Structure 1
Amino acid sequence: MKQLFKIILNTFPRPLLIRFSYLARPFLIMSLKGNTYTDPIDGKSFKKFLPYGYDNQRENVLSPSTLSLERHRLLWLYLKEKTTFFSEKHKVLHFAPEQAFYKRFRNLSNLDYTTTDLNSPLADVKADICNLPFKDNQYDFIFCNHVLEHIPNDTKAMQEIYRILKPGATAILQIPQDLKREKTFEDDSITDPKERARIFGQYDHVRIYGKDYFDKLRSIGFTVDEVDYTSEFSDSEIDKFRLQEGEIIPVCRK
Protein backbone atom coordinates (compact mmCIF):
# COMPACT_ATOMS: atom_id res chain seq x y z
CA MET A 1 0.00 0.00 0.00
CA LYS A 2 2.87 2.38 0.81
CA GLN A 3 4.26 2.13 -2.73
CA LEU A 4 0.79 2.52 -4.26
CA PHE A 5 0.17 5.77 -2.34
CA LYS A 6 3.55 7.11 -3.40
CA ILE A 7 2.80 6.41 -7.08
CA ILE A 8 -0.65 8.06 -6.82
CA LEU A 9 0.70 11.19 -5.09
CA ASN A 10 3.45 11.65 -7.66
CA THR A 11 1.32 10.89 -10.73
CA PHE A 12 -1.96 12.78 -10.39
CA PRO A 13 -2.49 16.54 -10.02
CA ARG A 14 -3.72 17.72 -6.62
CA PRO A 15 -7.26 18.85 -7.75
CA LEU A 16 -7.87 15.35 -9.16
CA LEU A 17 -6.54 13.73 -5.98
CA ILE A 18 -8.98 15.81 -3.93
CA ARG A 19 -11.92 14.59 -5.98
CA PHE A 20 -10.72 10.97 -5.92
CA SER A 21 -10.23 10.99 -2.15
CA TYR A 22 -13.95 11.61 -1.55
CA LEU A 23 -14.76 8.42 -3.47
CA ALA A 24 -12.12 6.30 -1.72
CA ARG A 25 -12.79 7.45 1.84
CA PRO A 26 -15.79 5.17 2.70
CA PHE A 27 -13.79 2.08 1.72
CA LEU A 28 -10.77 3.19 3.77
CA ILE A 29 -12.91 3.84 6.85
CA MET A 30 -14.44 0.37 6.72
CA SER A 31 -11.20 -1.51 6.08
CA LEU A 32 -9.17 0.22 8.81
CA LYS A 33 -11.77 0.47 11.58
CA GLY A 34 -10.31 -0.25 15.03
CA ASN A 35 -9.44 1.21 18.44
CA THR A 36 -5.71 1.97 18.40
CA TYR A 37 -5.61 5.52 17.00
CA THR A 38 -8.19 8.31 17.07
CA ASP A 39 -8.71 11.28 14.79
CA PRO A 40 -9.71 14.14 17.14
CA ILE A 41 -11.37 16.02 14.29
CA ASP A 42 -14.27 13.57 13.97
CA GLY A 43 -13.63 11.24 16.92
CA LYS A 44 -13.37 8.11 14.75
CA SER A 45 -10.86 5.40 15.70
CA PHE A 46 -8.81 3.00 13.56
CA LYS A 47 -6.39 0.13 13.86
CA LYS A 48 -3.92 2.18 11.82
CA PHE A 49 -3.66 5.32 9.72
CA LEU A 50 -2.40 5.47 6.13
CA PRO A 51 1.11 6.35 4.89
CA TYR A 52 1.73 9.73 3.28
CA GLY A 53 4.57 11.56 1.55
CA TYR A 54 5.78 12.50 -1.91
CA ASP A 55 9.37 11.29 -1.59
CA ASN A 56 10.06 9.94 1.90
CA GLN A 57 6.74 8.52 3.04
CA ARG A 58 5.72 8.67 6.69
CA GLU A 59 3.91 5.64 8.03
CA ASN A 60 0.64 5.76 9.95
CA VAL A 61 -0.11 9.51 9.55
CA LEU A 62 -3.06 10.03 7.16
CA SER A 63 -6.47 9.65 8.83
CA PRO A 64 -8.80 7.43 6.76
CA SER A 65 -11.88 9.44 7.74
CA THR A 66 -10.95 13.14 7.57
CA LEU A 67 -7.79 12.70 5.46
CA SER A 68 -6.01 14.82 8.06
CA LEU A 69 -2.26 14.74 8.69
CA GLU A 70 -0.39 15.45 11.91
CA ARG A 71 -0.47 19.21 11.41
CA HIS A 72 -4.24 19.28 10.80
CA ARG A 73 -5.04 17.32 13.95
CA LEU A 74 -2.69 19.48 16.02
CA LEU A 75 -4.25 22.68 14.67
CA TRP A 76 -7.79 21.40 15.32
CA LEU A 77 -6.93 20.63 18.94
CA TYR A 78 -5.28 24.04 19.35
CA LEU A 79 -8.24 25.93 17.90
CA LYS A 80 -10.67 23.95 20.03
CA GLU A 81 -8.86 24.32 23.35
CA LYS A 82 -6.96 27.61 23.04
CA THR A 83 -9.08 29.96 20.91
CA THR A 84 -12.64 31.24 20.44
CA PHE A 85 -12.72 29.97 16.86
CA PHE A 86 -15.60 27.54 17.45
CA SER A 87 -17.57 29.66 19.92
CA GLU A 88 -17.57 33.31 18.79
CA LYS A 89 -18.41 35.06 15.53
CA HIS A 90 -15.40 35.44 13.24
CA LYS A 91 -14.72 36.46 9.68
CA VAL A 92 -12.35 33.82 8.30
CA LEU A 93 -10.20 33.53 5.18
CA HIS A 94 -8.74 30.11 4.39
CA PHE A 95 -6.03 29.70 1.73
CA ALA A 96 -5.90 26.36 -0.13
CA PRO A 97 -8.56 24.85 2.17
CA GLU A 98 -7.73 21.42 3.50
CA GLN A 99 -10.35 18.70 3.12
CA ALA A 100 -10.09 17.89 6.82
CA PHE A 101 -11.42 21.37 7.63
CA TYR A 102 -13.37 22.63 4.63
CA LYS A 103 -16.91 21.28 5.24
CA ARG A 104 -16.59 21.51 9.01
CA PHE A 105 -15.61 25.18 8.93
CA ARG A 106 -18.22 25.90 6.24
CA ASN A 107 -20.96 24.44 8.43
CA LEU A 108 -20.11 26.45 11.55
CA SER A 109 -22.87 29.05 11.99
CA ASN A 110 -20.57 31.41 13.91
CA LEU A 111 -18.17 31.81 10.97
CA ASP A 112 -18.29 34.09 7.93
CA TYR A 113 -16.06 31.72 5.99
CA THR A 114 -14.32 32.34 2.65
CA THR A 115 -11.81 30.12 0.85
CA THR A 116 -9.25 31.22 -1.72
CA ASP A 117 -6.64 29.63 -4.00
CA LEU A 118 -5.49 29.75 -7.61
CA ASN A 119 -6.21 26.09 -8.38
CA SER A 120 -8.16 24.34 -5.63
CA PRO A 121 -11.68 23.16 -6.56
CA LEU A 122 -12.67 24.10 -2.99
CA ALA A 123 -11.84 27.80 -3.44
CA ASP A 124 -14.63 30.42 -3.38
CA VAL A 125 -12.30 33.09 -4.75
CA LYS A 126 -9.60 32.36 -7.31
CA ALA A 127 -6.76 34.68 -6.35
CA ASP A 128 -3.00 35.17 -6.34
CA ILE A 129 -1.72 35.27 -2.77
CA CYS A 130 0.75 37.98 -3.79
CA ASN A 131 -2.03 40.22 -5.16
CA LEU A 132 -5.19 39.61 -3.16
CA PRO A 133 -8.57 41.16 -4.12
CA PHE A 134 -9.53 41.82 -0.48
CA LYS A 135 -9.70 45.10 1.43
CA ASP A 136 -7.36 46.04 4.27
CA ASN A 137 -8.11 44.91 7.83
CA GLN A 138 -10.93 42.45 6.97
CA TYR A 139 -10.36 39.12 8.71
CA ASP A 140 -10.40 37.84 12.30
CA PHE A 141 -8.72 34.54 11.39
CA ILE A 142 -6.57 33.70 8.38
CA PHE A 143 -5.32 30.18 7.70
CA CYS A 144 -2.48 29.75 5.24
CA ASN A 145 -1.05 26.31 5.93
CA HIS A 146 1.66 24.65 3.84
CA VAL A 147 1.29 27.26 1.10
CA LEU A 148 4.18 29.70 1.50
CA GLU A 149 6.81 27.07 0.66
CA HIS A 150 5.28 27.00 -2.86
CA ILE A 151 5.45 30.79 -3.38
CA PRO A 152 8.61 32.28 -4.95
CA ASN A 153 7.94 35.73 -3.46
CA ASP A 154 6.90 34.68 0.02
CA THR A 155 7.70 38.15 1.37
CA LYS A 156 4.98 39.69 -0.79
CA ALA A 157 2.55 36.93 0.22
CA MET A 158 3.23 37.60 3.91
CA GLN A 159 2.72 41.34 3.36
CA GLU A 160 -0.64 40.70 1.70
CA ILE A 161 -1.79 38.47 4.57
CA TYR A 162 -0.71 41.13 7.05
CA ARG A 163 -2.57 43.82 5.08
CA ILE A 164 -5.95 42.07 5.11
CA LEU A 165 -5.75 40.85 8.72
CA LYS A 166 -7.62 42.96 11.29
CA PRO A 167 -5.54 44.63 14.02
CA GLY A 168 -5.36 42.23 16.97
CA ALA A 169 -6.56 39.31 14.83
CA THR A 170 -4.85 35.96 14.22
CA ALA A 171 -3.17 34.37 11.21
CA ILE A 172 -1.91 30.81 11.47
CA LEU A 173 0.79 30.25 8.88
CA GLN A 174 2.02 26.65 9.13
CA ILE A 175 4.88 25.53 6.89
CA PRO A 176 7.10 22.46 6.57
CA GLN A 177 10.09 23.41 8.68
CA ASP A 178 13.48 21.96 9.58
CA LEU A 179 14.13 23.24 13.09
CA LYS A 180 17.72 21.96 12.86
CA ARG A 181 18.40 24.65 10.26
CA GLU A 182 19.17 28.13 11.47
CA LYS A 183 18.57 29.62 8.02
CA THR A 184 15.97 28.96 5.33
CA PHE A 185 17.44 27.32 2.22
CA GLU A 186 16.41 27.87 -1.39
CA ASP A 187 18.20 27.27 -4.69
CA ASP A 188 16.48 27.96 -8.01
CA SER A 189 19.29 26.25 -9.92
CA ILE A 190 17.99 22.84 -8.76
CA THR A 191 15.42 22.01 -11.43
CA ASP A 192 15.20 18.21 -11.47
CA PRO A 193 11.88 17.27 -9.79
CA LYS A 194 13.33 14.23 -8.01
CA GLU A 195 16.24 16.25 -6.67
CA ARG A 196 13.91 19.01 -5.54
CA ALA A 197 11.75 16.44 -3.75
CA ARG A 198 14.83 15.01 -2.04
CA ILE A 199 16.14 18.39 -0.89
CA PHE A 200 12.95 20.39 -0.29
CA GLY A 201 10.59 17.57 0.67
CA GLN A 202 8.34 17.94 -2.37
CA TYR A 203 8.99 18.57 -6.05
CA ASP A 204 6.98 21.82 -6.13
CA HIS A 205 8.47 23.39 -2.99
CA VAL A 206 10.82 26.32 -3.60
CA ARG A 207 12.50 26.36 -0.16
CA ILE A 208 12.93 24.56 3.13
CA TYR A 209 12.28 26.90 6.04
CA GLY A 210 14.60 27.06 9.02
CA LYS A 211 14.23 28.63 12.46
CA ASP A 212 14.57 32.10 10.90
CA TYR A 213 11.02 31.76 9.51
CA PHE A 214 9.56 33.26 12.67
CA ASP A 215 11.84 36.30 12.49
CA LYS A 216 10.89 36.85 8.85
CA LEU A 217 7.24 36.98 9.89
CA ARG A 218 8.17 39.48 12.62
CA SER A 219 9.98 41.63 10.04
CA ILE A 220 6.67 41.92 8.14
CA GLY A 221 5.05 43.35 11.29
CA PHE A 222 3.47 40.29 12.90
CA THR A 223 3.76 39.44 16.56
CA VAL A 224 4.59 35.73 16.50
CA ASP A 225 4.01 33.09 19.15
CA GLU A 226 6.00 29.91 18.48
CA VAL A 227 3.49 27.49 19.98
CA ASP A 228 4.70 23.99 20.82
CA TYR A 229 1.27 22.65 21.67
CA THR A 230 2.38 19.02 21.71
CA SER A 231 4.29 19.81 24.94
CA GLU A 232 0.88 19.86 26.69
CA PHE A 233 0.11 16.26 25.67
CA SER A 234 1.34 13.01 27.16
CA ASP A 235 3.36 10.59 25.03
CA SER A 236 0.34 8.29 24.84
CA GLU A 237 -1.91 11.12 23.62
CA ILE A 238 0.64 12.15 20.98
CA ASP A 239 0.68 8.57 19.73
CA LYS A 240 -3.09 8.10 19.96
CA PHE A 241 -3.80 11.23 17.88
CA ARG A 242 -0.77 10.63 15.64
CA LEU A 243 0.77 14.05 16.22
CA GLN A 244 4.32 15.13 15.40
CA GLU A 245 6.02 15.82 18.69
CA GLY A 246 7.64 19.26 18.81
CA GLU A 247 5.85 20.66 15.75
CA ILE A 248 5.54 24.43 16.10
CA ILE A 249 2.34 26.30 15.27
CA PRO A 250 3.21 29.84 14.09
CA VAL A 251 0.42 31.95 15.65
CA CYS A 252 0.74 35.43 14.14
CA ARG A 253 -1.09 38.56 15.27
CA LYS A 254 -1.33 42.08 13.89
Structure 2
Amino acid sequence: MKSIFKFILNRIPRPILIRLSYIIRPLLAFILKGNKFTDPIDGKQFRSLLPYGYGKQRSNALSPSTLSLERHRLLWLYLKNETDFFDAPKKVLHFAPEQAFYKRFRKLKNLDYTTTDLNSPLADVKADICNLPFESDQFDIILCNHVLEHIPDDIKAMSELYRVLKPKGMAILQIPQDLSREHTFEDNNITDKQERAKIFGQYDHVRVYGKDYFDKLRGIGFQVDPVDYTKKLTPDQVETYCLAKGEIIPVCYK
Protein backbone atom coordinates (compact mmCIF):
# COMPACT_ATOMS: atom_id res chain seq x y z
CA MET A 1 0.00 0.00 0.00
CA LYS A 2 2.87 2.39 0.79
CA SER A 3 4.26 2.15 -2.73
CA ILE A 4 0.83 2.81 -4.24
CA PHE A 5 0.29 5.95 -2.14
CA LYS A 6 3.82 7.17 -2.87
CA PHE A 7 3.19 6.80 -6.62
CA ILE A 8 -0.14 8.66 -6.38
CA LEU A 9 1.30 11.55 -4.34
CA ASN A 10 4.21 12.07 -6.70
CA ARG A 11 2.32 11.71 -10.00
CA ILE A 12 -1.14 13.24 -9.57
CA PRO A 13 -1.45 17.05 -9.18
CA ARG A 14 -2.82 18.16 -5.81
CA PRO A 15 -6.00 19.87 -7.16
CA ILE A 16 -6.97 16.59 -8.85
CA LEU A 17 -6.17 14.62 -5.70
CA ILE A 18 -8.51 16.87 -3.72
CA ARG A 19 -11.39 16.15 -6.10
CA LEU A 20 -10.72 12.40 -6.22
CA SER A 21 -10.58 12.17 -2.45
CA TYR A 22 -14.29 12.96 -2.08
CA ILE A 23 -15.04 9.71 -3.93
CA ILE A 24 -12.41 7.46 -2.35
CA ARG A 25 -12.56 8.68 1.27
CA PRO A 26 -15.82 6.96 2.38
CA LEU A 27 -14.63 3.60 1.03
CA LEU A 28 -11.27 3.85 2.82
CA ALA A 29 -12.95 4.84 6.09
CA PHE A 30 -15.21 1.77 5.87
CA ILE A 31 -12.39 -0.66 5.02
CA LEU A 32 -10.12 0.55 7.86
CA LYS A 33 -12.80 0.84 10.55
CA GLY A 34 -11.62 -0.42 13.95
CA ASN A 35 -10.87 0.74 17.48
CA LYS A 36 -7.09 1.18 17.76
CA PHE A 37 -6.71 4.79 16.55
CA THR A 38 -9.02 7.81 16.76
CA ASP A 39 -9.22 10.88 14.56
CA PRO A 40 -10.03 13.66 17.09
CA ILE A 41 -11.46 15.86 14.34
CA ASP A 42 -14.50 13.67 13.70
CA GLY A 43 -14.15 11.09 16.49
CA LYS A 44 -14.07 8.10 14.10
CA GLN A 45 -11.98 5.05 14.98
CA PHE A 46 -9.79 2.83 12.80
CA ARG A 47 -7.68 -0.29 13.01
CA SER A 48 -4.98 1.62 11.11
CA LEU A 49 -4.48 4.90 9.32
CA LEU A 50 -3.00 5.31 5.85
CA PRO A 51 0.69 5.78 5.04
CA TYR A 52 1.76 9.20 3.77
CA GLY A 53 4.89 10.93 2.52
CA TYR A 54 6.41 12.11 -0.75
CA GLY A 55 9.86 10.78 0.13
CA LYS A 56 10.04 8.48 3.14
CA GLN A 57 6.52 7.34 3.98
CA ARG A 58 5.16 7.46 7.52
CA SER A 59 2.89 4.69 8.77
CA ASN A 60 -0.46 5.59 10.34
CA ALA A 61 -0.24 9.20 9.18
CA LEU A 62 -3.32 9.97 7.03
CA SER A 63 -6.82 9.63 8.48
CA PRO A 64 -9.16 7.90 5.99
CA SER A 65 -12.17 9.90 7.18
CA THR A 66 -10.97 13.53 7.37
CA LEU A 67 -7.71 13.14 5.42
CA SER A 68 -5.96 14.78 8.35
CA LEU A 69 -2.24 14.31 8.97
CA GLU A 70 -0.41 14.44 12.29
CA ARG A 71 -0.08 18.23 12.14
CA HIS A 72 -3.80 18.73 11.45
CA ARG A 73 -4.90 16.56 14.36
CA LEU A 74 -2.45 18.32 16.67
CA LEU A 75 -3.65 21.76 15.56
CA TRP A 76 -7.30 20.76 16.00
CA LEU A 77 -6.63 19.66 19.58
CA TYR A 78 -4.74 22.87 20.32
CA LEU A 79 -7.45 25.13 18.89
CA LYS A 80 -10.20 23.18 20.65
CA ASN A 81 -8.56 22.89 24.06
CA GLU A 82 -6.42 26.02 24.34
CA THR A 83 -8.21 28.79 22.40
CA ASP A 84 -11.65 30.33 21.87
CA PHE A 85 -11.48 29.63 18.11
CA PHE A 86 -14.73 27.64 18.09
CA ASP A 87 -16.74 30.08 20.20
CA ALA A 88 -15.66 33.74 19.94
CA PRO A 89 -16.35 35.95 16.90
CA LYS A 90 -13.22 35.91 14.73
CA LYS A 91 -12.24 37.08 11.29
CA VAL A 92 -10.09 34.26 9.92
CA LEU A 93 -7.80 34.01 6.89
CA HIS A 94 -6.88 30.43 5.98
CA PHE A 95 -4.14 29.75 3.43
CA ALA A 96 -4.23 26.58 1.32
CA PRO A 97 -7.26 25.28 3.26
CA GLU A 98 -6.98 21.66 4.26
CA GLN A 99 -9.90 19.34 3.59
CA ALA A 100 -9.81 18.20 7.21
CA PHE A 101 -10.77 21.73 8.29
CA TYR A 102 -12.46 23.45 5.35
CA LYS A 103 -16.12 22.44 5.73
CA ARG A 104 -15.95 22.37 9.52
CA PHE A 105 -14.56 25.89 9.77
CA ARG A 106 -16.95 27.14 7.09
CA LYS A 107 -19.92 25.97 9.19
CA LEU A 108 -18.83 27.76 12.36
CA LYS A 109 -21.22 30.68 12.80
CA ASN A 110 -18.75 32.61 14.96
CA LEU A 111 -16.18 32.81 12.14
CA ASP A 112 -15.95 35.28 9.29
CA TYR A 113 -13.95 32.78 7.28
CA THR A 114 -11.92 33.50 4.12
CA THR A 115 -9.73 30.99 2.30
CA THR A 116 -6.94 31.87 -0.11
CA ASP A 117 -4.43 30.10 -2.35
CA LEU A 118 -3.09 30.36 -5.89
CA ASN A 119 -4.27 26.93 -7.06
CA SER A 120 -6.57 25.24 -4.54
CA PRO A 121 -10.18 24.66 -5.67
CA LEU A 122 -11.16 25.39 -2.05
CA ALA A 123 -9.84 28.97 -2.14
CA ASP A 124 -12.28 31.89 -2.02
CA VAL A 125 -9.56 34.31 -3.12
CA LYS A 126 -6.83 33.38 -5.59
CA ALA A 127 -3.82 35.31 -4.30
CA ASP A 128 -0.04 35.37 -4.05
CA ILE A 129 1.04 35.16 -0.42
CA CYS A 130 3.80 37.67 -1.19
CA ASN A 131 1.31 40.22 -2.52
CA LEU A 132 -1.98 39.84 -0.69
CA PRO A 133 -5.09 41.74 -1.88
CA PHE A 134 -6.18 42.62 1.66
CA GLU A 135 -5.99 45.83 3.67
CA SER A 136 -3.62 45.95 6.64
CA ASP A 137 -4.80 44.87 10.11
CA GLN A 138 -7.77 42.84 8.82
CA PHE A 139 -7.73 39.41 10.46
CA ASP A 140 -7.96 38.16 14.05
CA ILE A 141 -6.52 34.76 13.13
CA ILE A 142 -4.34 33.57 10.26
CA LEU A 143 -3.81 29.87 9.56
CA CYS A 144 -0.93 29.22 7.18
CA ASN A 145 0.28 25.67 7.54
CA HIS A 146 2.99 23.98 5.46
CA VAL A 147 3.00 26.81 2.91
CA LEU A 148 6.11 28.89 3.62
CA GLU A 149 8.49 26.04 2.71
CA HIS A 150 7.17 26.35 -0.87
CA ILE A 151 7.77 30.11 -1.13
CA PRO A 152 11.13 31.34 -2.52
CA ASP A 153 10.85 34.71 -0.75
CA ASP A 154 9.54 33.55 2.60
CA ILE A 155 10.54 36.79 4.33
CA LYS A 156 8.25 38.74 2.01
CA ALA A 157 5.46 36.23 2.68
CA MET A 158 5.96 36.53 6.46
CA SER A 159 5.86 40.33 6.15
CA GLU A 160 2.53 40.14 4.30
CA LEU A 161 1.10 37.82 6.95
CA TYR A 162 2.18 40.28 9.63
CA ARG A 163 0.71 43.22 7.70
CA VAL A 164 -2.81 41.79 7.32
CA LEU A 165 -2.99 40.44 10.90
CA LYS A 166 -4.76 42.68 13.41
CA PRO A 167 -2.80 44.03 16.38
CA LYS A 168 -2.96 41.35 19.12
CA GLY A 169 -4.11 38.88 16.45
CA MET A 170 -2.84 35.28 16.31
CA ALA A 171 -1.15 33.55 13.38
CA ILE A 172 -0.38 29.83 13.39
CA LEU A 173 2.38 29.23 10.87
CA GLN A 174 3.25 25.54 10.88
CA ILE A 175 6.11 24.33 8.70
CA PRO A 176 8.08 21.08 8.35
CA GLN A 177 10.99 21.70 10.69
CA ASP A 178 14.20 19.83 11.49
CA LEU A 179 14.91 20.75 15.10
CA SER A 180 18.32 19.10 14.89
CA ARG A 181 19.39 21.95 12.56
CA GLU A 182 20.38 25.28 14.03
CA HIS A 183 20.02 27.00 10.67
CA THR A 184 17.60 26.73 7.76
CA PHE A 185 19.03 24.99 4.69
CA GLU A 186 18.44 26.02 1.07
CA ASP A 187 20.22 25.03 -2.16
CA ASN A 188 18.72 26.06 -5.49
CA ASN A 189 21.45 24.17 -7.33
CA ILE A 190 19.73 20.88 -6.47
CA THR A 191 17.28 20.51 -9.36
CA ASP A 192 16.61 16.76 -9.58
CA LYS A 193 13.12 16.10 -8.19
CA GLN A 194 14.04 12.84 -6.49
CA GLU A 195 17.09 14.41 -4.88
CA ARG A 196 15.02 17.39 -3.72
CA ALA A 197 12.41 15.04 -2.23
CA LYS A 198 15.18 13.17 -0.40
CA ILE A 199 16.83 16.30 1.00
CA PHE A 200 13.89 18.67 1.49
CA GLY A 201 11.14 16.12 2.20
CA GLN A 202 9.19 17.02 -0.92
CA TYR A 203 10.30 17.90 -4.45
CA ASP A 204 8.56 21.30 -4.42
CA HIS A 205 9.97 22.45 -1.07
CA VAL A 206 12.63 25.12 -1.36
CA ARG A 207 14.15 24.79 2.11
CA VAL A 208 14.38 22.80 5.32
CA TYR A 209 13.67 25.04 8.29
CA GLY A 210 15.84 24.79 11.37
CA LYS A 211 15.56 26.27 14.86
CA ASP A 212 16.17 29.74 13.42
CA TYR A 213 12.67 29.74 11.91
CA PHE A 214 11.36 31.35 15.08
CA ASP A 215 14.01 34.08 14.85
CA LYS A 216 12.96 34.77 11.26
CA LEU A 217 9.42 35.37 12.44
CA ARG A 218 10.60 37.56 15.32
CA GLY A 219 12.65 39.56 12.85
CA ILE A 220 9.43 40.44 11.02
CA GLY A 221 7.86 41.68 14.27
CA PHE A 222 5.93 38.64 15.50
CA GLN A 223 5.96 37.55 19.10
CA VAL A 224 6.51 33.80 18.83
CA ASP A 225 5.44 31.05 21.21
CA PRO A 226 6.81 27.68 20.01
CA VAL A 227 4.24 25.32 21.51
CA ASP A 228 5.02 21.61 21.94
CA TYR A 229 1.43 20.65 22.57
CA THR A 230 2.18 16.93 22.70
CA LYS A 231 3.72 17.60 26.13
CA LYS A 232 0.26 18.51 27.43
CA LEU A 233 -1.17 15.20 26.23
CA THR A 234 -0.70 11.77 27.71
CA PRO A 235 1.45 9.20 25.88
CA ASP A 236 -1.74 7.20 25.23
CA GLN A 237 -3.39 10.23 23.61
CA VAL A 238 -0.35 10.87 21.41
CA GLU A 239 -0.47 7.25 20.24
CA THR A 240 -4.25 7.01 19.87
CA TYR A 241 -4.49 10.24 17.85
CA CYS A 242 -1.39 9.31 15.79
CA LEU A 243 0.49 12.52 16.53
CA ALA A 244 4.16 13.32 15.99
CA LYS A 245 5.65 13.59 19.47
CA GLY A 246 7.58 16.83 19.87
CA GLU A 247 6.08 18.58 16.85
CA ILE A 248 6.06 22.34 17.40
CA ILE A 249 3.11 24.63 16.71
CA PRO A 250 4.49 28.13 16.01
CA VAL A 251 1.87 30.41 17.58
CA CYS A 252 2.59 34.01 16.60
CA TYR A 253 1.13 37.29 17.80
CA LYS A 254 1.20 40.87 16.51
TM-score of the superposed pair, with normalisation by structure 1:
1.00
Describe how 1:8-47 pairs up with structure 2 within 5 A: 8-47=8-47
TM-score of the superposed pair, with normalisation by structure 2:
1.00
Q: Kindly provide the CA deviation profile for residues 178-222 of structure 1, in whole angstroms up to 9, marking residues without a partner as x.
A: 000000000000000000000000000000000000010000000
Q: Kindly provide the CA deviation profile for residues 136-173 of structure 1, in whole angstroms up to 9, marking residues without a partner as x.
A: 00000000000000000000000000000000010000
CA distance in 2, matches of 1:127, 1:230: 33
Q: Kindly provide the CA deviation profile for residues 44-96 of structure 1, in whole angstroms up to 9, marking residues without a partner as x.
A: 00000000000100011100100000000000000001101001000000000
3-state SS of 2:152 partner: coil
3-state SS of 2:189 partner: coil
3-state SS of 1:92 partner: strand
Deviating 4+ runs (over 2 angstroms):
none
1:195 correspondence with 2:195: yes
Shift of 1:15: 0.2
Which residue of structure 2 lines up, in the alignment, with residue 73 of structure 1?
73
CA distance in 1, matches of 2:98, 2:127: 17
Which residue of structure 1 lines up, in the alignment, with residue 90 of structure 2?
90
Gaps of 5+ in 2: none
Which residue of structure 1 lines up, in the alignment, with residue 251 of structure 2?
251
Q: Kindly provide the CA deviation profile for residues 104-135 of structure 1, in whole angstroms up to 9, marking residues without a partner as x.
A: 00000000000000000000000000000000
CA distance in 1, matches of 2:140, 2:65: 29
CA distance in 1, matches of 2:234, 2:124: 39
Q: Kindly provide the CA deviation profile for residues 16-39 of structure 1, in whole angstroms up to 9, marking residues without a partner as x.
A: 001111110010011000000000
Describe how 1:169-180 pairs up with structure 2 within 5 A: 169-180=169-180
CA distance in 1, matches of 2:80, 2:26: 26
RMSD: 0.4
Percent identity over paired residues: 72
Which residue of structure 1 lines up, in the alignment, with residue 5 of structure 2?
5
1:233 correspondence with 2:233: yes
Gaps of 5+ in 1: none
